[in-house]
Amino acid sequence: MSERRIFVRHSCEEGSFYLPDPAGLHYLLRVLRVVPGEMYRGFDADAFGYRLEWRSEKEGFKVLERTPPSGAPAFTLSLAQGLPKGPKFELVLRQGTEVGIHSFFPLLTERTVVRLPPEEREGKRARWERILQEASRQCGRDDVPELSTPLSWEEGLAILGSFDLVLMLYEGDGNPLRKVLESHPKARRVLLLVGPEGGWSPREVEESVRGGAQVVHLPTPILRTETAPLAAASMVCFHYS
């Protein structure tokens, strides 16, 4: 049987001990029923890898080996999405992690129904980070996608210049996605912009284009807000792989 994987919540040195938090301990002891001497593979938020040996409930894991990240990826895909209602964004986080999205930027747009007061944003982000950690563990990634706090539309516009290519999904207009990708063969940092249930407002489309975004449409029927980023991400990652 292959070694199980766990997320290591802070950096550890070889020879030290790592004791998971209470929720992690409960999972190890009551669900996985870990026993002394059992070996695990660990990874942390900075993509360091660990070979771990379980010692006891008091000591936790002994860190037998710590391996550095393999280096900066040649290509990264990020997603800025207008926050959808209910648990849809959590689905995007889980499955977006599986298809290879590197970072997530939740947006509060003109047509976003969800309104998060500033005092609630950090709590929501903490829950989303736990979802990303678990999704990375399950799908075998050695890193955890980055996650920003929810951004206003103006804050979202400010990040566009950090990318080689910005693709705004818009059902009303734009060029085919494949055509735009083929015209940008050297893009290495790509950002997807996906609207909430009500889509983008004309003002948001106009401001994004002024900021350098390319308006595109997918070769599919109209997709839900939680489905569109996953389909687009798969197409973009395949193109640049």
Over 90: is that where the pLDDT of 1 sits? no
User: What is the average pLDDT value for the chain, to the nearest integer?
Assistant: 92
Which of the four CATH numbers 3.40.640.10, 2.40.110.10, 1.10.8.50, 2.40.240.20 does domain 4-67 have? Answer: 2.40.240.20
Residue ranges, CATH 2.40.240.20, the chain: 4-67
Residue ranges, CATH 3.40.1280.10, the chain: 76-240
The total of other beta-carbon atoms located within 10 Å of residue 130's CB is: 13
Q: Is 3.40.1280.10 the CATH number for 76-240?
A: yes
Report how far residue 16's alpha carbon sits from residue 18's, in angstroms, rounded to the nearest whole number. 7
87 is written with which tokens? 């648990």
Q: Looking at per-residue confidence, does 1 or 183 come out higher? A: 183
Report how far residue 49's alpha carbon sits from residue 208's, in angstroms, rounded to the nearest whole number. 38
Q: Are strands 146-147 and 60-67 parallel, antiparallel or unpaired?
A: unpaired
The total of other beta-carbon atoms located within 10 Å of residue 83's CB is: 22
Q: What is the pLDDT of residues 64-92, one digit of tens each?
A: 999 988 766 789 999 999 999 889 999 99
| pTM across the whole model | 0.82
7-19: average pLDDT: 92
pLDDT interval class at 122 (50, 70, 90): confident
Report how far residue 65's alpha carbon sits from residue 42's, in angstroms, rounded to the nearest whole number. 10
Which candidate, 89, 106, 38, places its Cα nearest to that of 227?
89
